[in-house]
Amino acid sequence: MTLSPELVRQVTLRFLAGPVDLNVHGTVHGGAVMKWMDEAGYVCATGWSGRPCVTVYVGGIRFYKPILVGTVVEVHAQLIYTGRTSMHVAVNVRSRDPIVRQSTPTTHCVMVFVALDETGTPVVAPVWTPRTDDDRVLQSYAECLTVLGRQLEGEMRLYLDRMTPPE
């Protein structure tokens, strides 16, 4: 059975936040959330491209609310833009009490993935074309973030070039 790319443009993964995920403050560790986000983004990008992918950029990660132990965590990843070799994926996290079922937005970011061939070389990404007004807004958002990311990288380079690793 062959899936059309439209069927794999988005994915939602669900996790139960457990004691192993907690930080010293008693809420889910940000690193655990970022791992879940990377996994959902990977599934989305790999599903779109049909190839193994790597994360090349994570931008604008924002933690809105803490996640509590015992809550269901929903990580939704959606392709919002394709460049020549890049796939931009918006990742939104919500948490909810499994009994009450009311969910709360907790985290957001945009991740960029690149698909690789058998030698580890980036390959051309399958083109995604926005079809709805919402799609066009999301694509515009990704394009704006790309410009901002390049500006930030230029600013960072001024400082990174001056830094030396500790001996």
Ordered by where they begin, the domains of the chain are 5-128 (3.10.129.10)
pLDDT digits 0-9 by tens, 1-43: 344 545 589 999 999 999 999 999 999 999 999 999 999 999 9
> Looking at residues 43-71, what average pLDDT do you find?
94
**pTM, whole model, 2 decimals?**
0.88
Give me the amino acid identity at 7.
Answer: L
- Report the candidate in 27, 52, 32 with the shortest Cα–Cα distance to residue 113: 52
3-state secondary structure 57-74: EEEEEEECCCCECCCEEE
